[in-house]
Structure 1
Amino acid sequence: MSSAFFFVLNCCVLTTLTDGFSLSNCTIYFPFEYSGHLKVLCNRMGYWKTPSPLPHNTVNLDISYNAIQRIAEWDFIRLSNLIILNISHNRIHEIHANALSDLTNLEELNLSNNKITKVTSNLLNGLANLTHLRLDSNYIETIENQSLATLSNLRLVNFTDNKLMHISELHPLLRVPHLEELYLGENGFLVFNSSDIPSAFFGLKKLDLSRNPLTVFKMTENIFPDLEELDLSSCFQTNTSNWFILDKAFLNTVKTLNLSMNHFEENQLGYIMQSFASVNWMALDNLKGFKVETVLEKACSPSLRGLHLEGNQLSVLNDCMFRPCALLNALHLRNNGVSRMYKSSFDHLVNLTELRIQKNNLMQLNDTLQVLPNLRVLDLHLNSIQNLDCSDFANLTQLRQLYLHKNQIVTIKACVFKDLGNLEELILSSNRMLTVSGTFKHGPLNLQYLDLNNNKLSAIRRNSFKALDSLRTLHLSDSQILNIYPYAFAGLINLTDLHLASNKITERTLEKHYVFAGMPNLQSVDLGCNYISYNTQEELQIPPFMHLSELRVLKINSQRRGLNYIPSNFLKGLKNLQVFYAGNLNVKNLHVDTFSCTPKLALLDLTSNNLANRNALPSRLFQPISGLNKITLGRTHLKSLDFLVGANLSNLTILRASTNDLEFINQTIIQSLPQLKVLDLQNNSFTCDCSNAWFIDWAVKNNKTQVLYLNRYECRYPLSLSGKSLAAFNTESCNVNYDFICFIYSSSIVILTLVISFIYHFLKWQLVYAYYLFLAFINDKKRKQTLNQLDFQYDAFISYNAQEEPWVLEELVPKLEGQHGLRLCLHHRDFQPGKAIIDNIVDAIYNSRKTVCLITHNYLKSVWCSHEIQVASFRLFDEQKDVLVLVFLEDIPMHQLSPYYRMRKLVKKQTFLRRPKPGEDTRAFWQKLKMAIESKEDMKDRQILSGKDEDDI
């Protein structure tokens, strides 16, 4: 299977979580062979603090490129499985002493590009398994003595681009027993003196001191006994630099040396080179003030095998230049302005296997390379080569890789590559080639990778690649190809990847017989960004892919005129197709038989089409491809996902439908996708009401499907919630428990029945009384609206027990009516016959200015007297006026009033009168009673109504 197919599938599979998808802003990946270990990506999400909670089985966590300022003590708790942690490119200036202590299995820690100023003794506690530590691009000035002492497995430390000023500050690194790589570039070291380091860095293999402003490099002790790679580029910028190595053997172990972009004196350069007698690879780019010949005389030792000479202004490669470097295997001459090479320029480099002369001014090769029979890699890209002669690559029988892209080549003769029998990779992109007809007539026979992108081929003729039967990948994109002749690719029996994107291919090109014939093992075809277009879904007479039964990946996306329709048999013959890219084609619907010939389809991309019609994707469309693993429907104007319900996509794990017009996601849709692992519905028109309540709860709480970037989902409707977060919508009010409601309903009926029965048997008369009280309340309201409150029929209603009637008739009535002229309302005299008693009581109380209650023991026991006092009390409460007069005709102690709650309450709040005992003077009693009935406020009201002033009274 092609590498392209593996890449596609590996990029598509994501994870399930054992403890829920709480990270709505993160993406969580896992490999095909899922072992429970997660890779969590939270980079570039705008976090101000570490996201939480994190899945406990995370092994790789990336929270880089955020705005985190501090790491708190509990930020990484429960993450004992973490192996790789990337917190780079934040604003971290503070890390709690125990923040990393739980990461016992951590191996790689990246804290680069933050604002850390000090490596404290507690910062890295507990990281016993740490192997890689990156603290580059911070503001570190101090490394505390014990800060690295516990890191027994540390192999790599990077302090590049910090504020370290003195080599003595590196003492804590000596406590790391197995340190192999140390990066100290771009700090502020002025002096490197071995005496400032108390002991040797045993085991250190690579040291980077580049871009430090060194004025002194002095070694009097061998502090790097195992050093193999040393980078001193851009360190010595003045010719006054002091270089001293006490013993030439100190740096004999160094195999790779970079002295680029330095400024040495000529005699000093020779002295320096003597210190590196065993170097086999050296970079001397952009040296200042030297002739290259002089540099090579001093640099090319018998051990040197690789030399990098970029940017040294070598306009001409003469025949003596490389004589001191006869044993070289690799020579890099990038960006030197080389415009001319002699035939003898490389005469002495017979062992050369790699030659890179890219980005120069070469226009022709002039047979200069024939003397390099062992050459395996030749890079000539970014030159100005126009023509290649048949002898230019003669004798290069061992060449494996040839890079000729970005030149000015127009045509290549068949003889040019005839001697390159072992060539495997050929790059000819970005030239001006008009044709390849005959170019590969003689091979190269073992060529496996051919790139012809960005040329001007216009047509691919019959048998153009017939001799390339070993070819596996062929790039022909962006080459203005309009015509492809039948059998154009015949002979490519091992080709797996064919790229024809961004050409001028039309549907007519594909109508020809045998356009793709001769490629029985082809697994991937890219036809994107062409001019293929159809006006109907009707069957094609000649389906274009009939001969590609092994094809796995087909890309036809972004046709420049819009594909418009996909014919129903367009994919006929692709019985092994697994990936189909059909995005941005202006397709409005798909025929139900579109995928009837592709039963193994696993990935379908329909991005950026116009599928607004509800019948654009019928459920039957997906039934032949029940094994579909991923479908992408972003920017397709979808209004519903209901088509998935009957689609039988039981194996679908990834569904992307972002930037559509979806308003509702119901439970049926999700339940129809039992294997769904990833759901992406960003930028849709969600309605925030109870119709989406189930989806919101499921998206937040489920631990099987990751809803990507859930906190970015916004409400569009109703308008009052537009722009609000969908996940923040309160769904509790939407949760209706019908079982509970039925229980409450039935229980309420039973309880209501019991209550009604109880009331009927025991409280019937109290209910009748309450009814009349309610009538009194209604009557009171009506009276307030229709009557003048001061227009009373009686001055007082006399409430008394029948046993007190003799005293009322013999004494009270004569005194108040006869002597004082008051109008009294009495039961036996003034109640209307035939009218309900309670109605008469209410009318009497509300038609009287005051109610006078004559209280005795019998009065308290009387039911009707109790009614009268309650109605009077209600009026007192309602009007908030002095409308009640209490007269005690008998002595009743307070404790005897306790059973009569209402009366006891009135006595506590109202002033009352007592009837004089026999033999006492009664005049004061009658006068007070008369004044109580005719209160001062009532008198004022009478005066106003009669038009009298207060002085006239």
Structure 2
Amino acid sequence: MFKNSREICEFHDNLINKVDLIIENLMITKYSQYPNEQSKLNTYRDTLISKIKEIERFNLQNYKNVNSIFGYVFEIENQKSIFKGDLPIILLLTKLNLPEEVIKCLEMSDLKTTIFKNKLILNIFEKLLDKNDGNFIIDLSVIEKNIENSLLIQAEYIDRNDLDFLPKLLNMSKLNSLQLDLYKSQFIPKNVFINFENLPQLTIEYFSGSYEPFNFEYLKNLTHLTLKQNHIIKLENEVLNGLENLEHLILKNNQIKLLRENAFSSLLKLKELRLEDNLLDEIENGVFNGLVNLEILELINNGIKFLKGNAFNDLINLKSFTLYEQDLSEIENYLFDGLKNIENLKIQGNEINLFEKNFFNNFTNIKELIIYNCNLSNLDNYVLNGFKNLELLILHSNKINTLKGKFFSSLINLKELRFSNNIITKIEKGAFNGLVNLEIFLLDYNGKEILMKKDSFIDLINLKKLNLSYIHISYFVPKTFNGLKNLEHLLLNKIKLKSLKPKSFTELNNLKVLELNSSNISKLKNDAFYGLDGLEHLFLNKNQIQKLIPNSFRHLNNLKKLFLDDSQISYIENNAFDGLICLEYLTLDYNFISSFKANVFYDLKNLKELNLYYNRINTLESNVFTGLINLKNLVLRNNNLELLKAFVFIHLKNLKSLDISYNLISTIENNAFNGLINLEKLDLNNNKIETLNPYIFSELSKLKRIDLSKNKISTIEVNAISELINLEDLNLSYNQLMSLESNKFVHLKNLKNLNLMANRISIIEESAFSGLINLGVLDIQENQIVSLSHRSFNGLDNLRTLKLCRNKISAINDRAFDDLFNLEHLELNYNEIETLKNKLFKNLKNLKFLNLNYNKISTIEIDSFSDLSSLENLELESNRLELLNEKTFSYLKNLKKVCFKHNSISFLEDGLFNGLENLEYIDFQIINDYVETDMELQEANEMMNENKENLLVCDRSNEAENCNELCGTNHENQDNIIVVDSNDKEEETNKETAQNNNENEEQNTSMNDYEAGLINALDLIEQSPSAQLNSQAIQTNSNNNLIISPDASPFIRPIANSLLNRSNPSTELSANHVVSITTETNQEQCTSNSPTST
């Protein structure tokens, strides 16, 4: 922290020179042999200096006066900003008398504090920092620019001056919303809102006290007030005084028992009032006095039992009224007399028959009336008289049993009518008189049988949707639907029809969708759909049709989709689909069909998709699909086919996808696929095919994907797949192939993916993959391959992924991978490899992933990985390694992750990770008394440093004689080395941590502002884009050694070394690593504690 402008200017003036000095020193000492890193350093230098120069635009020299507007200038590392932008930021603040705790939290990027005011300040800072994320300089000195839309304040108690600081930090005129969560507070001082004069929205939750008169008088411009989950028992009349511009008031989940007369009289502009989940017994007269501009009133679950006659007299402009009160038992007759402008009325959950007492006589402007679950039964004809503007009427879940004649006669503008879930059994003649504009009518879920009469819907001339589902309708008399000339969607699901008589829908010329699912239909008689000339979608799922007879769908000339799933169909006669000249989609899934007659689909000239899965089809004749000239997708999966006869698909010239999976096919006759000249996808998996005969796929020249997995294929005859010249994906997994002969796939020049997983392959002949010039993925895992020869993968020049795991490979020829120049992913795990020879992977210069887990590897020759310059991930888990030579990984300059746990390694040689500057993750284990760890980026970076010794050091010298052998530590000289404690001594660890805290504070005090600023500002130079920084960069231990945190940037180390060398030029800084120590013998585990950050 800089406490005056002079320090800022001095820091800025010297910063660029210091950057150049340090860069030059790094170039000479650390990166002299790494040209690429030198280039990166120069790039970082240019970026940093350009950012440093941004400070000049603030003209800091003008602020040398102690009375300048800059009270504090912090140079801090904000985690979110740095993680995204890799740059430090400078935060400029105005003269806020910040508590010391806040200053420390800002400097340490630690926003945790228990003090309410400090916590709030820090939370606001965090929001403002997020908005300026990525900027090198964040200037918060101009209050007008510090705009925050919403503010959440959570506190147990709040005092009158707790929010006084806000105008010095935020532009209060732009604050749109404030929420106060007051968990234990019993009192809200009115002065707490003195700075919120322009606030439009306020929410107070969890307040357990009482509101005082004039509590909100300073909120002159408040428009929205929500008091939610408070413990309000009564609301005094003067509590809301001063809220002269309030428009929305929500009192929800409180305990209000009493509202006095004139409770809201001061709220002259109020438009919305919600009283929900309170404890009100009644609403007295005069409670709503003065609310002449109220438009929305909601009374929901308040426990109201009685409403007096004059309760709503002043609500002359009310437009929407919701009354959901289950305990309401009494209403005076003239209760709604004053609500002449009501447009929307919702009433739910009481047993008052509002129609019996003419409550709605004055509702001449009402547009929506919803009466739900109110036990309404008999409705007289006159009750809706005068509702000429009504557009929506919902009488859902009542006990209405009869729709009487002329009941709706006055509703000339009604558009939607819902009578769902009643007990209607009778519709009288003329019941729908007057509903000339009705478009939607829902009569579903009426339990008992409804007798449909002739002309039942005669007056609904503009109806578009009619739902009669889930009611008992035995049959439709002729002309039941007379008059519905504009009906487009008719739902008759689960209506328990006894039969579908001819010409049942004669009048529905414009119907587009007809649903008859689960309706007990057992037979489709001729002319059943007569008159449905415009029908496009017909649903007949889950019926008992059993047989489709000729002309079942005659007259459906425009039908596009027909659904006949799960309807017990076992037989389809010829001409059953006669007339369906426009049908594009037909589904017959989950039926009992075993065979088809010839030409059964002949009339479906425009059919594009035919689904026949989950039937019992056991044979297909060659002329079954005659006429399907436009079919593109045929699904026959999950049937009982055993044989595919010749020319069975001969007529499907335009078919693109054929699925015959999950059948019993063992034999495919020659020419079975003839005619499929446009087929692109063929699925034959899960059958019983044993042999692929020559030219079995002839004419499938456009096929791109074929799935033959999970068959019993043991032989692929010569030329069996030679015609598949455009094939891109071939799946032969889970078969019984024993060898791969030469030139087996030579004609598949466009193949990209070949899956041979889980066969019995033990031999790969030379040139087995010849011709596969575009193959990208080869999967041969789970076979019985013992060795890889010189030319095993000859011709796979473009292979990217090779999977050889779970074989029995023990011998690999030195040149086995010579042709795999572009290989990026190689899996050899779960084999029997014992030795990795020099130059084994010599041509795999593009390999990024190598998996050798679960082999028997005991030896890795020094140059085994010498050519793997692009390798990023190396897996060596669960082998028999006892030693890793210091040069084992030396060639892997791009390695990011290495795993060699579960081996027999008892010692890690010094320099094992030298030069691996991209390494991010090390997963290893040292057996006996072993170290097992997952190491993240910063720990790995520390281990990579050259000229460092004993990076992991344990202090078991007092307890284990062989400790020096196990961990390689010289316990006699541990100056400037982090100690990794392997003992379970929690008490001693805590004492040491406390001591470190005290000494860290002393050490930190001794570091001047220049040094702290220099370390933070220059931290980015060696920072990689994936690394995270924090301000806990330098620490001290009990011996006053300066120590680097695992989370620090590697570049901090040379800076810190330079500081340390001022007092002791011979010392050099080491790194600490937080690791988990596990002992095999006693299975105890403990974690070392890093010294506490200053």
- TM-score, length-normalised on structure 2? 0.44
1:524 is aligned with what amino acid? H
1:627 is aligned with what amino acid? C
Pair 1:258–1:220, CA change in 2 (3 A): closer
CA distance in 1, matches of 2:497, 2:584: 27
Give matches, 1:752-767, under 5 Å: none
Which secondary structure state, in structure 1, belongs to the residue aligned with residue 324 of structure 2?
A: coil
Pair 1:319–1:739, CA change in 2 (3 A): closer
Q: Offset at 1:277?
A: 3.8
Matching residue of 1:627:
582
CA contact (8 A) 1:304 1:325 kept: yes
Pair 1:648–1:443, CA change in 2 (3 A): same
Give matches, 1:575-586, under 5 Å: 575-586=533-544
* Aligned with residue 686 of structure 1, among 662, 666, 689: 662
Matching residue of 2:286:
320
CA distance in 2, matches of 1:624, 1:308: 59
Matching residue of 2:350:
383
Matched, 1:195 2:165: yes
- Give deviations 1:205-259, integer Å, cap 9, x for gaps: 4556669777897987998887544433x332355999988xx65x544422221
Higher helix proportion? 1
CA distance in 1, matches of 2:146, 2:506: 60
* Aligned with residue 447 of structure 1, among 377, 391, 414: 414
Matching residue of 2:572:
616
2:398 is aligned with what amino acid? N
Matched, 1:556 2:511: no
Matched, 1:399 2:356: no
Q: Offset at 1:604?
A: 2.0
Which secondary structure state, in structure 1, belongs to the residue aligned with residue 381 of structure 2?
A: coil
CA contact (8 A) 1:663 1:686 kept: no
Q: Offset at 1:565?
A: 1.0
CA distance in 1, matches of 2:614, 2:184: 53
Q: Offset at 1:315?
A: 2.9
Pair 1:450–1:179, CA change in 2 (3 A): farther
Q: Offset at 1:591?
A: 2.2
**Which has the higher mean CA deviation after the structures are superposed, 492-501 or 174-183?**
174-183
CA distance in 1, matches of 2:503, 2:253: 58
CA distance in 2, matches of 1:742, 1:330: 74
Would you say how many aligned residue pairs link Structure 1 and Structure 2?
A: 561
- Give deviations 1:898-934, integer Å, cap 9, x for gaps: xxxxxxxxxxxxxxxxxxxxxxxxxxxxxxxxxxxxx
Matched, 1:176 2:131: yes
1:263 is aligned with what amino acid? H
Pair 1:200–1:466, CA change in 2 (3 A): same
Pair 1:693–1:518, CA change in 2 (3 A): same
Q: Offset at 1:653?
A: 6.1
1:474 is aligned with what amino acid? F
1:573 is aligned with what amino acid? G
Matching residue of 1:302:
268
Matching residue of 1:594:
552
Matched, 1:231 2:203: yes
CA distance in 2, matches of 1:664, 1:190: 81
Q: Offset at 1:403?
A: 0.8
Q: Offset at 1:420?
A: 0.7
2:481 is aligned with what amino acid? F
Give matches, 1:199-598, under 5 Å: 199-200=170-171, 205-206=176-177, 228-232=200-204, 234-238=205-209, 251-263=219-231, 270=238, 273-274=240-241, 276-288=243-255, 291-293=258-260, 297=263, 301-363=267-329, 366-386=333-353, 388-389=355-356, 391-438=358-405, 440=407, 442-479=409-446, 480-507=448-475, 510=476, 512-534=477-499, 540=501, 542-559=502-519, 562-598=520-556
Q: Offset at 1:433?
A: 1.3
2:269 is aligned with what amino acid? S
CA distance in 1, matches of 2:243, 2:609: 57
Identity across matched positions, percent: 20
CA distance in 1, matches of 2:200, 2:483: 52
1:236 is aligned with what amino acid? F
- Give deviations 1:123-149, integer Å, cap 9, x for gaps: 7789xxxxxxxxxxxxxxxxx999x9x
2:468 is aligned with what amino acid? L
Q: Which has the higher contact order (CA 8 A, sep 6+)?
A: 1
CA contact (8 A) 2:638 2:662 kept: no
- Give deviations 1:726-748, integer Å, cap 9, x for gaps: 885479977666388899x9x9x
CA distance in 1, matches of 2:719, 2:494: 56
Q: Offset at 1:201?
A: 7.2
CA contact (8 A) 2:494 2:517 kept: yes
Pair 1:123–1:398, CA change in 2 (3 A): farther
Pair 1:499–1:208, CA change in 2 (3 A): farther
CA distance in 2, matches of 1:639, 1:513: 37
Pair 1:183–1:582, CA change in 2 (3 A): farther
Pair 1:733–1:714, CA change in 2 (3 A): closer
CA contact (8 A) 1:322 1:346 kept: yes
The structure number with the bigger radius of gyration is: 1
Matching residue of 1:59:
none
CA distance in 1, matches of 2:212, 2:81: 36
Matching residue of 1:915:
none
Pair 1:301–1:598, CA change in 2 (3 A): same
Q: Offset at 1:628?
A: 3.1
Q: Offset at 1:411?
A: 0.9
Pair 1:393–1:460, CA change in 2 (3 A): same
CA distance in 2, matches of 1:671, 1:733: 37
CA contact (8 A) 1:383 1:407 kept: yes
CA distance in 2, matches of 1:572, 1:165: 75
CA distance in 1, matches of 2:154, 2:453: 62
CA distance in 1, matches of 2:451, 2:427: 6
Q: Offset at 1:459?
A: 1.9
CA distance in 2, matches of 1:230, 1:381: 30
2:518 is aligned with what amino acid? S
Q: Which runs of 5+ in 1 are unaligned?
A: 1-117, 127-143, 149-163, 720-724, 748-953
Q: Offset at 1:528?
A: 1.6
Pair 1:241–1:417, CA change in 2 (3 A): closer
Pair 1:223–1:373, CA change in 2 (3 A): same
CA contact (8 A) 1:364 1:387 kept: no
Matching residue of 2:738:
none
1:738 is aligned with what amino acid? N
* Aligned with residue 606 of structure 1, among 549, 564, 588: 564
Matching residue of 2:987:
none
CA distance in 2, matches of 1:726, 1:409: 62
CA distance in 2, matches of 1:732, 1:286: 69
Q: Offset at 1:610?
A: 1.1
CA contact (8 A) 2:146 2:169 kept: no
Q: Which runs of 5+ in 2 are unaligned?
A: 1-77, 87-104, 110-117, 133-144, 641-660, 691-705, 725-740, 744-1094
CA contact (8 A) 1:686 1:726 kept: no
- Give deviations 1:59-115, integer Å, cap 9, x for gaps: xxxxxxxxxxxxxxxxxxxxxxxxxxxxxxxxxxxxxxxxxxxxxxxxxxxxxxxxx
1:231 is aligned with what amino acid? T
CA distance in 1, matches of 2:439, 2:718: 63
Which secondary structure state, in structure 2, belongs to the residue aligned with residue 171 of structure 1?
A: helix
Pair 1:313–1:378, CA change in 2 (3 A): same
Q: Offset at 1:342?
A: 2.4
1:169 is aligned with what amino acid? N
Q: Offset at 1:267?
A: 8.7
